[in-house]
Chains A and B, each alone.
Chain A
């Protein structure tokens, strides 16, 4: 099992999509502690977790990893949900494209489950309006 290949299969298209926006929106992945210095700056956090590495079957063990993907969009609080929802749409489009990608003979084959959310929150103490979606994923590394 190649965890890094799975992570890359999820992270790369999302990073490309947010970097392609004008202006580009900063994206932070797991184990990166930096956040934009200006607390009201919008940004995206993408977290990938692994739940199962393989699934034993009657005949063999299939290297189907399973896990969860959480995308949080941070936009300025008190300005309505529009900007947050625009960025969420960018993420959802990427996820739907991933699901429509045909299986190849090499690389990582990825399928996502239903997308939960978005849910929105804005706590008293925090400067951001946070939109959040999550989904399950199943991945097989073919090479």
Chain B
């Protein structure tokens, strides 16, 4: 039978792993909300993978902790530096996140999300749209991804994940 201290340690390890999964779900939801939203494919393509453990399941927005892989509560697993890696599985993810130039075409439908830029396209980045009567449209502000990561949004979600995990376990 495990000692009380041993049970306590195991409970703590479970909470740490649970916090990581909650934080991942929060971040995936934030990314889905902050990113471009045309037909919904990009927002519904965020996946959390656990290196050395397994792939997350392909789910859709809104994401929950069930969409993240189960993390073992062994000491080795808890000590792992990278617990979860969040990726977008679309083949145009780099362009959608404003990390690469691309070639953008009007799909001929109206976007599900709000249009934040509209006009004539002048460049190869997603938001290279100037004023004018062109049909080029964009549904997320420029550099939305970098702003989320560097501007405090992701840190807030990490904190929320920890708070949710410890509130639910106690």
Question: Which residues of A does B touch, CB under 8 Å?
Answer: 30, 33, 35, 47, 49-52, 66-68, 70, 113, 119, 121, 123, 125-126, 128, 130, 132, 134-137
Contacts and interface: CB of A to CB of B under 8 A. Distances in A.
**Most chain B beta-carbon neighbours within 10 Å: one of A68, A126, A132, A137:** A68
Nearest to B148: A51
Interface of B: 94, 98-103, 122-124, 128, 130-131, 141-143, 146-153
16 contacts: A49-B146, A49-B147, A50-B151, A51-B147, A52-B151, A66-B150, A66-B151, A67-B147, A67-B151, A119-B99, A121-B94, A123-B103, A126-B101, A126-B124, A134-B150, A136-B149
Given A49-B141, A136-B151, A35 B123 contact: yes
Contacts of A51: 147-148, 150-153
A67 B152 CA distance: 7
Contacts of A119: 99
Interface of A is mostly: strand
Contacts of A130: 100-101
Contacts of A123: 100-103, 124
A68 B124 contact: no
Contacts of B100: 121, 123, 130
Contacts of A68: 143, 146-147, 149-151
